[in-house]
Structures are given as structure tokens and as C-alpha cells.
């Protein structure tokens, strides 16, 4: 009995020591600037949301939060960098649903979204949009489908990268309508928008945020949103489901994560600050004009979303016949 009690006391002592170290780390943190990795190029929806939060986090934490754009491999390069960083609270990363798709499309994925990161919080929800250059003679999805059927393979569509939620949306559109389009992946939504507006690519499936200003200027035309419900910022733009694509619902979520084993006290501090930032009027108003809704979660809720996203992505990719490269 004495041995058991002694062993339990020892275990309790170790746990207390870890808690003490954890608490001390949180008390001293942050003592220097923080890097927030955005795994896509500047100018896209991920970059916009990331920079909006980074600015407010800098003020809340008393240290500069620097956004580090590391595009490439549909977000894999940036997230790999984050996964391998020291879990001390000085490296964070923006992660979206693409990380769930990557599990199925990359045989040699250098990290596991379920175990390589410490989930912090969701930061936003938004929709993708099916958009065409102003020169495309179609004012709605029905007309575009008819046009694409008349000219099989004549239209190419841009996305922020292969294996992204936008790519998945584009392939679902093709499968459900029977049209043929060539996928043109970019290293982020920013350059895709530039080429769409310039007419180098006639069609795109992109986050709504970088598209809306160009749509309002008449340079491009938004035909539909990919989410299951209409956007409050684009109330006159129908869903794809309304045009005969039943059950079509692909939304874009963005979150902040850190390297696994980040002290729980730092996770809690970051989560609390993000929750506070999400309700700031300036943040909500700025993102709302771009069709983005600031949204938060607990770390566990984010972990559950990532796991669920991996399962859903697996089913959809199987239905589409998309296999790992």
C-alpha cells in the first residue's frame, strides 16, 4: 500500500511540475514577436483574414504578430514549416479545410493534421464563389452550363491550388453538370484573381473575399456561391443547389493552429484573445464587407472539425475518382 501511495504521490508530483512549467511559460509569454504563417500567397481570402487577426493580436499581446506568407503545394509547405517549429508560442499558422483534403491526396504528407498541431480556434467561415470574367456571355449558372456544354473543354477554371476546397468544388460542379473544364491551380487566390480580371483565365472558383470588389466594379461576374445557403453579403447571388445541383454545400473555414505540444496555458490565452477579437465591431464590419463571418471555437471543437473534415473529404474524393498523386 505504501509503495502504491508513494508511486501515486510521485506521479502527482510530476503532473504538478508540468503544470508549474506550463503556467510559467504562459506568464513569460510572449517576450518577443510571433510569426503567423499564412500557407497561401498574399491577396487571397486566407491572407486577408490572417492579417486582420494578426493586427489585433499584436495589440492584445503587446508583441508584433508578423504574417509570413509561405505559399506552395496547396498550403502543405507552410503547414509543414509550422508543424516542425518549436512549440513555444512563437510560431502559429492559419489552416483551412485544405489540410483535410491533403491527407488523402498526398501519400508523403510530412505531417498529420490530427496529431501534428495544437488546435487553437476557428477564426472565420465564408463561401467560395463560381465566378466568370465579364466577357463570358453567361449571367447565371444555367447559361454558363449550356455554354460549356456547347464548347466542351473550351473553358478553364482557376483556383488557389490543387487539392484545395476550391478545386474540390470545381470538380463537383463538373461531375454534377457533366461539363468539361480544365483546372488551372495557382499558389494562392491573389494571382488567380489577377489573371481572372485580366482575362487570362475565363472562370474561377475562389473565396468570395478577393472577388467581391472586382464584381462590384463590373470586371467579373459572380454566378453562384458554393455554400448551402446564400451569403448575407451577397443576398442576390443564388447557391449552386438552387440551379439544380442538389445538396451542393462546400464552405470555407479558417483556423489558427500551433505546433503540437504547445503549453495548454498558451493555447488558452490565444483562444481567449481570438474570441475577444472576433466580436470587435471593426473586425466584424471589415470582414462582413468581404462575405466573411468571424467565427470562433474551443480547441477541442476545432480538433473535431479537422477530424470530421478528413472523413468528409475522403468520401467526396472517392466519389469524384480523384486519387493521390
Instruction: Check: CB of residue 126 under 8 Å from CB of residue 45.
Output: yes
pLDDT band at 324 (very low <50, low <70, confident <90, very high): confident
Last residue of a domain, one of 209, 243, 277: 243
Same domain as 6, residue 116: yes
The answer to whether residue 14 sits within a structural domain is yes
- Write b or e for each residue in 188-211: b if 16 or more Cβ atoms lie within 10 A of its Cβ, otherwise e: bbbbbbbbbbeeebbbbbbbbbbb
Instruction: Give percent above pLDDT 70 in the chain.
Output: 92
pTM of whole model > 0.95? no
Instruction: Note the pLDDT tens digit of each residue in 289-313.
Output: 888 899 999 999 999 999 999 999 9
Identify the residue whose cell numbers are 447565371: 140
The answer to whether residue 307 sits within a structural domain is yes
Distance CA 96, CA 113 (A): 11
Residue 50 lies in domain: 2-125+253-320
pLDDT band at 17 (very low <50, low <70, confident <90, very high): very low
Last residue of a domain, one of 189, 214, 243: 243
Identify the residue whose cell numbers are 467581391: 212
The residue among 45, 273, 14, 70 whose CA lies nearest residue 160 is 45
The answer to whether residue 325 sits within a structural domain is no
Instruction: Check: CB of residue 161 under 8 Å from CB of residue 98.
Output: yes
Same domain as 166, residue 233: yes
Same domain as 297, residue 157: no
pLDDT of amino acid 1 = 47
Same domain as 132, residue 33: no
The residue among 247, 288, 231, 219 whose CA lies nearest residue 52 is 288
Q: Which residues, other chains included, contact 143 with Cβ-Cβ below 8 Å and sequence gap of 6+?
A: 137
pLDDT at 6 over 50: no
Instruction: Note the pLDDT tens digit of each residue in 110-164.
Output: 999 999 999 999 999 989 999 999 999 999 999 999 999 999 999 999 998 888 8
Amino acid at each position: 500500500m505504501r509503495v502504491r501511495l508513494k508511486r501515486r504521490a510521485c506521479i502527482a508530483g510530476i503532473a504538478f511540475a508540468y503544470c508549474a512549467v506550463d503556467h510559467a511559460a504562459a506568464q513569460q509569454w510572449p517576450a518577443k514577436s510571433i510569426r503567423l504563417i499564412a500557407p497561401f500567397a498574399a491577396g487571397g481570402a486566407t491572407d486577408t483574414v490572417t492579417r486582420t487577426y494578426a493586427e489585433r493580436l499584436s495589440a492584445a499581446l503587446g508583441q508584433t504578430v508578423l504574417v509570413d506568407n509561405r505559399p506552395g503545394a496547396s498550403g502543405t509547405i507552410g503547414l509543414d514549416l509550422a508543424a516542425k517549429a518549436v512549440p513555444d508560442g512563437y510560431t502559429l499558422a492559419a489552416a483551412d479545410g485544405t489540410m483535410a483534403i491533403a491527407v488523402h491526396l498526398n501519400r508523403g504528407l510530412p505531417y498529420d493534421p490530427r496529431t501534428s498541431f495544437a488546435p487553437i480556434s476557428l477564426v472565420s467561415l465564408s463561401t467560395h464563389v463560381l465566378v466568370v470574367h465579364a466577357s463570358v456571355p453567361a449571367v447565371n449558372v444555367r447559361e454558363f452550363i449550356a455554354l460549356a456544354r456547347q464548347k466542351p473543354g473550351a473553358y478553364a477554371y482557376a483556383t488557389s491550388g490543387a487539392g484545395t476546397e476550391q478545386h474540390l468544388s470545381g470538380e463537383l460542379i463538373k461531375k454534377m453538370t457533366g461539363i468539361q473544364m480544365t483546372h488551372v491551380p495557382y499558389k494562392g487566390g491573389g494571382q488567380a484573381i489577377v489573371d481572372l480580371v485580366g482575362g487570362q483565365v475565363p472562370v474561377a472558383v475562389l473565396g468570395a473575399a478577393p472577388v467581391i470588389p472586382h464584381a462590384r466594379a463590373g470586371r467579373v461576374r459572380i454566378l453562384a456561391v458554393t455554400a448551402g445557403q446564400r451569403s448575407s453579403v451577397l443576398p442576390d447571388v443564388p447557391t449552386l443547389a438552387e440551379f439544380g445541383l442538389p445538396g451542393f454545400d462546400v464552405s470555407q473555414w479558417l483556423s489558427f493552429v500551433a505546433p503540437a505540444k504547445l503549453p495548454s496555458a498558451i493555447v488558452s490565452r490565444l483562444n481567449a484573445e481570438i474570441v475577444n477579437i472576433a466580436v470587435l465591431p471593426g473586425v466584424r464590419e471589415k470582414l462582413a464587407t468581404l462575405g466573411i463571418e468571424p467565427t470562433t471555437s474551443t480547441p477541442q471543437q476545432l480538433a473535431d472539425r479537422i477530424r470530421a473534415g478528413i472523413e468528409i473529404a475522403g468520401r467526396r474524393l472517392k466519389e469524384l475518382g480523384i486519387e493521390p498523386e
